[in-house]
Structure 1
């Protein structure tokens, strides 16, 4: 049994046999090699990593486990992303160990081998995150973190929150640079005592070029896709895209559509899967009979066409640390309606410009802000254009600039 759980020898992914990835063609503008520790490849992280490397950031990317099928309990299914996540940059896979001390030792060894001058952790809760904190302490290397916690996301009562703030304020003193993914995340760091000089904007972004290109290409097949999904022509399509679990709160959207009134006729397209699917299908049949289509899980390459098809996107979550699906749909030039518990709204959703915001869980309030978009095609078009303009300024280019600024700061400490 001990052999079954022993850490596997590290293996290198991508192209070279060298365990210390070098930046591709562009000469590095910041001469600080960074060990970037991640639990596993992530569909949102990999394109950003490729852009950082091509922009001259010297990254040595290290994963605890590689790119393989996995079971997602919230989607209630086994998944494998259909876009390559470990191509275009060099990476190292340590093995499947969940033991923090083993991972920390392997990370520290690798950092010595490749001459890393800083460590970048994805957060502070997963075994690989904690191993990165440990490795940076062992080697006395500056630590950068990029979590997505927000003040609205804190759990527990007043005493729990005070203890949490005291504990993490002490932990964050060790951090050389906090890489904020959005305004709410930056506010979280400030509330925990991190000074502004150590907070750098490295926004949660997606591969804008990919999503915009795919949406343009899908436009010519829009009506074919519409028919395949059983959506009648001429009616606005309201899109929900996410896991069918309680905190995503698709039920409030279904209720809102039942309250929008007969003049605001629309079709609801639900993309995603999860434990509440049967419950939500029954709710939709009761409240908006014949007006909802449940399309199930769609993989990354299928989503741009779905985004291009819809007329309005709604994210009604009762809590969402950020909500990268909003970035994706904005690249298709669509209006966005978000609850006030979705972390990205202060940065990406501008009420009266490219969408609207409503109090989470309030179906009547959602119906009120949704109704104008269902009735007015010109409003949808102008808001969609605004979405595209906004998202073009929230991209990997901003990530590159933020990382470069953080590394300049770390190098000067």
Structure 2
């Protein structure tokens, strides 16, 4: 069986670890081969985050070709379509895994595959609640999905959305998402012994909530800052806690102003974005991850934090909340329309009413089934199922 995978970004490290694990499985058999077509190196909004002068990322050696060594937005439909069809014809796959339904070039490849009797698995990360749904776009999506033989979904909510659009549950071949747990945990464990020293050097509090991601409106960071300010006033230990916002984005100036207005400049620190493999350096300075987004198809930073043994507080609008957050065991889920819920959870951690260490251990246990090796095996099982 010849497996062809089409993916948008070479920079997407979370997929690289899964593709590597899949390659390792394929290499153990003589009847399988896999090829990954990476369309672009990166996209503009993430430019610069794939390299660093301090440290190097893990090396992945799966079989791939980078079609265009530039940003995704700079590649025309004609360019993408021409090379995708050319490479597919040359590779002669038995099954193709497409990144998504939103790229016309990949939809053209879908039609080519159907004409030539090639099976197609569609990846889906969208959920019913991450955007307003309805109208012509949804009808087109129904038709596109009806042409696919199987689906790899980013979690239960993404799978439920596909089923709502008329797909048989038997076609859902995967309901998980993974990051490189081992690489992340290794960096965290190397950094955490120097936690106190680093906190003092940066002027941080001994305990911190941390957010990781782009500083954009949908992340709902003003609510996090407002809830933290209120919690800090109510908690007996409020002065010992801070907030770390790790990332860059359009809302940075507004957040800086809000921090001044709230009077928490000594407790809240904005840290510039960094490559994914250095994020655990900041997680090591933190106690709890908070992801307050109003819309989030999944939320891979929750995987990352749990792999490092951090409890999590996650908005119920994040796709991962259903699958990864076991309420009261490794963290909490809250409704972003009710800010008091977030404030209450922050106070509980500040007051020591929760055993954060025990929650962190539970987090590592719950994230174990979301390892790249397990996700890759489920992908391979899916490829084999639909080609047989």
**TM-score scaled to structure 1, two decimals?**
0.84
User: Which of 133, 137, 145 does residue 122 from structure 2 map onto?
Assistant: 145
SS at structure 1 position matched to 2:313: strand
**What secondary structure sits across from 2:362 in the alignment?**
helix
Give the drift of 1:106. Answer: 2.6
1:86 is displaced (CA, Å) by 7.7
SS in 2 for 1:318: coil
Q: CA deviation at 1:101?
A: 4.6
Structure 2 residue runs without a partner (length 5+): 27-31
1:48 aligns with 2:18: yes
C-alpha displacement at 1:262, in angstroms? Answer: 4.0
- More divergent stretch after superposition (308-317 vs 393-402): 393-402
Moved more, 302-311 or 249-258: 302-311
Counterparts of 1:104 and 1:94 in 2: how far apart (Å)? 11
State the structure with bigger RCO (CA 8 A, min sep 6), 1 or 2: 2
> Offset at 1:317?
0.3
Q: Is the 8 A contact 2:291 2:313 kept in 1?
A: yes
Which of 13, 35, 54 aligns to 1:60? It is: 35
Q: Number of residues paired by the alignment? A: 370
Structure (1 or 2) with the greater helix fraction: 2
- The 2-side partners of 1:207 and 1:125 are apart by 27
* 2:91 is equivalent to residue 120 of structure 1: no
Matches within 5 A, 1:366-385: 366-376=342-352, 379-385=355-361
Aligned position for 1:37: 6
Give matches, 1:7-406, under 5 Å.
32-41=1-10, 42-56=12-26, 58-65=33-40, 67=41, 71-72=44-45, 78-82=48-52, 87-95=60-68, 98-155=75-132, 161=134, 163-233=136-206, 236-260=207-231, 261-265=234-238, 266-289=241-264, 290-376=266-352, 379-406=355-382
Post-superposition Cα deviations, 1:290-347, rounded to whole Å, max 9, x if no partner, equal 2111112122232112112211110000100000000001111111001110110000
Q: Distance in 1 between matches of 2:363 and 2:268?
A: 25
Deviations 1:124-175 (A, max 9, x none): 113553343244235331111112010112325xxxx154443322221110
Q: Distance in 2 between matches of 1:138 and 1:62?
A: 21
Superposed CA offset, 1:2-38 (max 9, x none):
xxxxxxxxxxxxxxxxxxxxxxxxxxxxxx2111112
**Cα contact 2:235–2:350 (8 A) shared by 1:** no
8 Å Cα contact 1:257/1:288 also seen in 2: no
Conserved in 1, the CA contact under 8 Å of 2:179 and 2:300?
A: yes
Q: Distance in 1 between matches of 2:66 and 2:112?
A: 16
Note if contact 1:108-1:136 (Cα within 8 Å) is conserved in structure 2: no
Q: Distance in 2 between matches of 1:43 and 1:362?
A: 34
**RMSD value, Cα:** 2.2
Between the aligned partners of 2:339 and 2:259, the Cα distance in structure 1 is 14
Change (3 A) 1:126 1:227: farther
* Structure 1 residue 93 displacement after superposition: 2.7
Q: Secondary structure at the match of 1:94?
A: strand
CA–CA distance in structure 1, aligned partners of residues 269 and 76 of structure 2: 44
- Asked if structure 2 preserves the Cα contact closer than 8 Å seen for 1:322 and 1:342, the reply is yes
Once residues 132 and 370 of structure 2 are traced to their aligned partners in structure 1, the CA distance between those partners, rounded to angstroms, is 29
Return the alpha-carbon distance in structure 2 between the equivalents of residues 378 and 355 of structure 1: 10
Secondary structure of the equivalent of 2:124?
A: coil
- Report deviation, 1:100: 3.2
Counterparts of 1:155 and 1:297, CA distance in 2: 29
- Other structure's SS at 2:190 match: helix
CA distance in 2, matches of 1:288, 1:175: 54
**Cα pair 2:129 2:317 within 8 Å, conserved:** yes
Question: Which stretch has the larger CA shift, 38-47 or 316-325?
Answer: 38-47
**What's the CA shift for 1:363?**
2.4
Structure 1 residue ranges without an equivalent (≥5): 1-31
Distance 1:198 1:232 in 2: 49
1:161-206 residue CA offsets vs partner (Å, 9 max, x unmatched): 1544433222211101111110101101110111111111151100
